[in-house]
Amino acid sequence: MLDATQNVTRSYLDRRVEEFRAQVARRIDGSLTEDEFRPLRLMNGLYLQLHAYMLRVAIPYGTLNSEQLDVLAEISERWDRGYGHFTTRQNIQYNWPKLTDVPDMLARLADVNLHAIQTSGNTIRNVTADPLAGAHADELMDPRPVAELIRIWSTDHPEYQFLGRKFKIAVTGSPNDRAVTGAHDLAVRIVERDGEIGYTILVGGGLGRTPVVGKIIKDFLPQADLLPYLEAVLSVYNLAGRRDNKYKARIKITVNEMGLEEFSARVDEAFFRIRPEFSGADQHLLAELQEGFARPALAPRDTEAYDAAYAADPVFRAWADINLRPHFADDHAIAMVSLKPHGGVPGDASASQMRVVADLARRYGNDEIRVTQEQNLVLPHVAKADLPAVFAELKQHGLATANAGLASDIIACPGMDYCALATARSIPVAQQIAEALEENEVEVGELAIKISGCINACGHHHLGDIGILGLDRAGVENYQITLGGDAGPDMKIGEKTGPGFAYDEVVGAVERLIAAYLDLREEGERFRDTIARTGAEPFKTALYQEEAQDAA
């Protein structure tokens, strides 16, 4: 059942902050042991990593307004080291908070209706969505009302506070999946059939040590059945999901072991039982949310200033060609704000950079900012006429790298520079690759390089055209390369190429793969198109060529 009054209200957030403040105090005065305290801090998104605590803050479906982004900047300055790290699940992480400051950080977040609840632990995590929602020309319907409905329903839901394992949900309203839906425990794709809107539901996707592409469990679910159906899926998982082995506890394993058919039959059975409990309050709420997310009324603007700058300034032109995406209004554009300067840390933004983006959103962008699964920011509604001014401002603050979707737009997890689970570094590998490829990445074109520093695959390496997985092989960093992954609507898991590479061999290996592509590609082919045509063999040959020569 859904009680609309259970929304994440200020008083609820205040109570949660004070509860956590008391828990921190009890940990410090010795009333709570670390074992007792750990699950409590994780319920508030607070991890203990290699060198410090890390606070993960949920950014619902990656949507922020300027005030929220300003507060994220302020928090990084007051209680951290003046920067934040945007993640592949559209969240932000602070890498250096003190335990004693975290309650104050959470209280400040609550001022702008943000929190860190369910950003950790075996619960339903922050619901993600297409980062270009409500703006892209190709969209069927804005996925955020559905994502928000799911968020309200799943936040503090008593039945889902102790699942067998974490549970991630993504929603897209576009056929061009930008929300990595196939890699989620459950995904909702908004579709249209015979003029009616409904949902395709995927279940059991995920990366990690057992990468699985989500399977379609419901081809077309009527809108009003969404929450009861989700409850049915969760109830089957909650009962049948394994709790004996952490590595077999995700729903993908439940679905694989049980078989989709049997799993689906059990869900249908549960659905039949649960459906009557939903009286329609959820649909009223959804209608309200849809109003709240109505497309902005953007005043028509002539595009003369844009056309003039585009014709006159090759630097602006390059950025526009690479970093703009088509908006539903012809005289507007979606501007991708790169957090991937060549040699920088993917996804990091300083406090002043965050303020610059917030300010641009306020002045030129309908007060909206998005966080992408590729660890960039987005200004989703910019009049083309304002783009030269926006570009100039971004450029001045190191935010105008023209590389959206190119080789240096690398996803990298924090890896062993920060993460307690990591088995190798990711960030310096990304930095070196980006620097090495800067020169010819425009010629190379669309290319997804994704790097994870351990088998848990936070860097989505399975889904990269080129995936890189850092491991610890007998006390030495070693990097496995996968080829042919695809994060889009026809998601593909990349294939391992063969023996791994040492830390200082990775850049050379990637360069050989790219050289092979440039050699093999036919007119208009992207990296993934060439691999699809030729198979991975010629790429593997190129990859291991040097070693073979060395051995000869």
Residues that bind other proteins (CB under 8 A): 27-28, 30, 33-34, 48-53, 83, 96-100, 339, 341, 343-345, 348-350, 352-353, 396-399, 416-418, 425, 427-428, 431, 472, 475-477
- Rg over alpha carbons for the chain, rounded to the nearest Å, is 23
Closest approach of Cβ 302 to other proteins, in Å?
Answer: 32
Please name the helix (run of DSSP H) or strand (run of DSSP E) that holds residue 290, with its range, or none. Answer: helix 281-292
Closest approach of Cβ 55 to other proteins, in Å?
Answer: 11
Q: For other proteins, give the closer residue by CB, 238 or 452.
A: 452
Q: What is the 3-state secondary structure (H, E, C) of 36-99?
A: HHHHHHHCCCEEECCCCEEEEEECHHHEEEHHHHHHHHHHHHHHCCCEEEECCCCCEEECCCCH
CA–CA distances in Å: residue 231 to residues 33, 120, 125, 275? 35, 20, 15, 9
Burial of 279 (0-12, 13-18, 19+ CB in 10 A): exposed
Closest approach of Cβ 397 to other proteins, in Å?
Answer: 6
Q: For other proteins, give the closer residue by CB, 253 or 399.
A: 399
Q: For other proteins, give the closer residue by CB, 93 or 155.
A: 93
Closest approach of Cβ 356 to other proteins, in Å?
Answer: 10
Closest approach of Cβ 239 to other proteins, in Å?
Answer: 34
The count of C-alpha atoms lying within 13 angstroms of the C-alpha of 313, restricted to the half-sphere facing its C-beta, is 15
Residue 321, SS3?
helix
Q: For other proteins, give the closer residue by CB, 97 or 485.
A: 97
Closest approach of Cβ 74 to other proteins, in Å?
Answer: 16
Closest approach of Cβ 346 to other proteins, in Å?
Answer: 8
Closest approach of Cβ 265 to other proteins, in Å?
Answer: 44
Burial of 302 (0-12, 13-18, 19+ CB in 10 A): exposed
CA 369-373-376 angle, 5° bins? 50
Closest approach of Cβ 524 to other proteins, in Å?
Answer: 34
Closest approach of Cβ 328 to other proteins, in Å?
Answer: 31
Closest approach of Cβ 427 to other proteins, in Å?
Answer: 4
Q: For other proteins, give the closer residue by CB, 146 or 411.
A: 411
Burial of 551 (0-12, 13-18, 19+ CB in 10 A): exposed
d(CA 325, CA 273): 44
Q: For other proteins, give the closer residue by CB, 67 or 472.
A: 472
With tokens 């205040």, the residue in question is 14
d(CA 353, CA 357): 6
Q: For other proteins, give the closer residue by CB, 427 or 463.
A: 427
Q: For other proteins, give the closer residue by CB, 405 or 428.
A: 428
Of the candidates 518, 421, 519, 505, which has an alpha carbon nearest to the alpha carbon of residue 468?
505
Q: For other proteins, give the closer residue by CB, 299 or 474.
A: 474
Closest approach of Cβ 34 to other proteins, in Å?
Answer: 5
103 residue type, one letter:
P
Burial of 494 (0-12, 13-18, 19+ CB in 10 A): buried
Q: For other proteins, give the closer residue by CB, 264 or 353.
A: 353
Please name the helix (run of DSSP H) or strand (run of DSSP E) that holds residue 222, with its range, or none. Answer: strand 215-222
Closest approach of Cβ 70 to other proteins, in Å?
Answer: 17
Closest approach of Cβ 29 to other proteins, in Å?
Answer: 8
With tokens 């828990």, the residue in question is 23
Name every residue whose Cβ is closer than 8 Å to that of residue 128 and which is 6 or more positions away in sequence: 61, 62, 89, 90, 147, 168, 169, 170, 171, 179, 180, 184, 373
Answer yes or no: are the C-beta atoms of 88 and 458 closer than 8 Å. Answer: yes
CA 509-415-379 angle, 5° bins? 90
Provide DSSP, 140-177.
SS-SHHHHHHHHHHHTT-GGGSS-SS-B-EEEE-SSS-
Answer yes or no: are the C-beta atoms of 508 and 467 closer than 8 Å. Answer: no
With tokens 């040699």, the residue in question is 343
Residue 131, SS3?
coil
Q: For other proteins, give the closer residue by CB, 305 or 389.
A: 389
Q: For other proteins, give the closer residue by CB, 51 or 193.
A: 51
Answer yes or no: are the C-beta atoms of 238 and 164 closer than 8 Å. Answer: yes
d(CA 455, CA 449): 16
Q: For other proteins, give the closer residue by CB, 106 or 339.
A: 339
Q: For other proteins, give the closer residue by CB, 5 or 33.
A: 33
| Residue 416 dihedral angles phi and psi, to the nearest 5° | -75, 0
